[in-house]
Amino acid sequence: MKALAAWRTVLDKHPPSAVRASAIGPKRPACETLHAMKRLTTAPNLALATLWADLLCHAGVPTTVQRQYASSIAGEVPPDQTLPELWVQDAEQFEHAGTLLHALRNPPHRHWACPRCHEVIDGPFEQCWNCGVAMPAC
Ligand SMILES: [Zn+2]
């Protein structure tokens, strides 16, 4: 829930444009899709790669995970060559995807006191861990 709340904050700051939403629409021929794809980054593991790709897709940036199962050959090839990769399906959305991913990986640091139970909350959280009250608006 906290990750979703943080993601909603990211989307409020960087909303997907109507042009990007239209890019999801009609399916393109496979050859055109291959030329338009661009590698965004590598992820330290498959769980994070899948989470990031899902969040980017929900933000209107179609993203796929490549090299999902390459970790099984680590040791036979350099380990950095086996990390899962995130690929943006439309190269025109590359910069927007990078901005969204950067915001996701660097959540804002907050320090606030819960108005109900007076617990001090430190970190990117928007909800009191003790009683569940939402962070008050600034
Ligand atoms: Zn509280």
Residue 133 CA to ligand 1 center (angstroms) comes to: 6
- Return the sign of the alpha-carbon dihedral for residues 105, 108, 114, 115: negative
Q: What CA–CA distance (Å, rounded) separates 66 from 83?
A: 9
If you count them, how many residues does the chain have?
A: 138
Residue 137 CA to ligand 1 center (angstroms) comes to: 15
Residue 113 CA to ligand 1 center (angstroms) comes to: 8
pLDDT in tens, 28-87: 555 455 558 999 999 999 999 999 999 999 999 999 999 998 888 888 888 888 999 999
CA dist 38 to 62, 97, 134, Å? Answer: 11, 11, 38
Is 0.75 topped by the overall pTM? no
Residue 94 CA to ligand 1 center (angstroms) comes to: 39
- Exposed e or buried b per residue across 73-90, where buried means at least 16 C-beta atoms within 10 angstroms of its C-beta: eeeeeeeeebbbbbbbbb
